[in-house]
């Protein structure tokens, strides 16, 4: 799982893959994903909201109370 973050409140899942299907990304993929991450982290909250409404991005909600194994 590759995640972009501004080390604050913005965390964006950029790419994920099962390790049993591939061991890693190649250099070209790494470069492209870094560019994508920089672009996404530079977007305003308003632009991110618009992208979500358009179905281009999806917000993932995570709450420790809802995680498997937590009571």
Q: Which residues contact 5 (CB under 8 A, 6 or more apart)?
A: 11, 12, 41
Give the chain's residues under pLDDT 70: 63-71
Show the tokens assigned to 47. 């632009």
54 DSSP assignment: T
pLDDT score at 61: 78
Across the chain, mean pLDDT equals: 86
Global confidence as pTM: 0.72
pLDDT score at 68: 55
């Amino acid at each position: 799982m590759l995640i972009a973050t501004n080390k604050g409140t913005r965390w964006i899942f950029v790419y994920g893959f099962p390790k049993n299907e591939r061991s890693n990304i190649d250099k070209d993929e790494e470069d492209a994903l870094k560019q994508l991450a920089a672009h996404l982290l530079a977007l305003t909250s308003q632009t991110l909201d618009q992208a979500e409404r358009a179905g281009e991005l999806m917000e993932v909600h995570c709450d420790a109370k809802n995680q498997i194994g937590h009571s």
